Amino acid sequence: SQPMFSRDKNFVLTFNGEIYNYLELKKDLETKGLIFDTETDAEVLLQGLILEGEKFLLKCNGMWSFCLWDRKQKKAILCRDRFGVKPLYYHLQNNRNLIFASEMKAITPFLDEIKTNPDIDELIKNLFNYEASQNCVIKGIESIEPGQIIIFENKILKKNRFWNTLDHISFENISYENQIEKWEYLFRDAVKIRMRSDVPIGSALSGGLDSSGVVGMICDILKKKNKNT
């Protein structure tokens, strides 16, 4: 049920995504005196942001785009996850109003006219660069970049980054066998935490190595879990 309000009704959250480690985060927040009204990851994100601010995002394992609105301060915080899995677009209307949505077509009714971005010819020469940039096909609409936070307050828009992947890549001088062992641990952990669900798990198999690897890991995790139970 969204938008989600804080208990004092001061903060409002609209959220698209999943926080995979929300159960652990919830326990940590409860030890700090917070009380939860739902069992959702959205409320964990809401209360965590209110208590700890932007640094709470570094604790979140997941994919998301969201807007947190502070009704007293008249401040909006928009954010996209580390790798930009969830889309988030915005338009600054007459330098006064911030329009945002997860799709460009939801913003187009607020534009005076719909025109192609004049830089589109250069952008489509490298689609990978286009996906990671703030530039969009439609003039006047921008994309929030992966790992980016946008703050809109007093009709002023500021851009910050809470995450840059290149700053977190470590090149360890370890053996090939240890690299394989570490990768398997990370892969298993990533798949396992995404299996948290109150509905049956399904997968779309393309026949490629990535989707087959995920399903194979799911089967292995379930097999070992059934043996232990």
- pLDDT tens, residue by residue, 131-188: 778 889 999 999 999 999 999 999 899 999 999 988 888 777 889 999 999 999 999 9
83-106: pLDDT as tens digits: 999 999 999 998 789 999 999 999
d(CA 212, CA 203): 10
Chain centroid to CA 201: 21
Can you give the pTM of this predicted structure? 0.88
Please report the pLDDT score of residue 140 as a whole number: 94
Q: What secondary structure letter does DSSP report for 8?
A: T
Q: What is the pairing mode between strands 148-153 and 97-101? A: unpaired
First-to-final CA distance of the chain: 35
Task: State the DSSP H helix or E strand holding residue 48, giving kind and residue range, or none if neither.
Answer: helix 41-52
Instruction: Give the number of other CB atoms < 10 A from CB of residue 214.
Output: 16
For the chain, helix, strand, coil in percent to 5 are 40, 25, 40
d(CA 212, CA 229): 26
65-89: pLDDT as tens digits: 999 999 999 999 999 999 999 999 9
Mean pLDDT of the chain: 91
DSSP string, 87-155: --EEEEETTTEEEEESSGGGTGGGSSS--B-TTHHHHTT-HHHHHHSS--SBTT-EEPPTTEEEEEETT
- How many Cα atoms occupy the beta-carbon half-sphere of 26 within 13 Å? 15
Q: Residue 229: pLDDT band by 50, 70, 90 thresholds?
A: low
Map residue 64 onto helix, strand or coil: strand
CB 217 within 8 A of CB 211: no
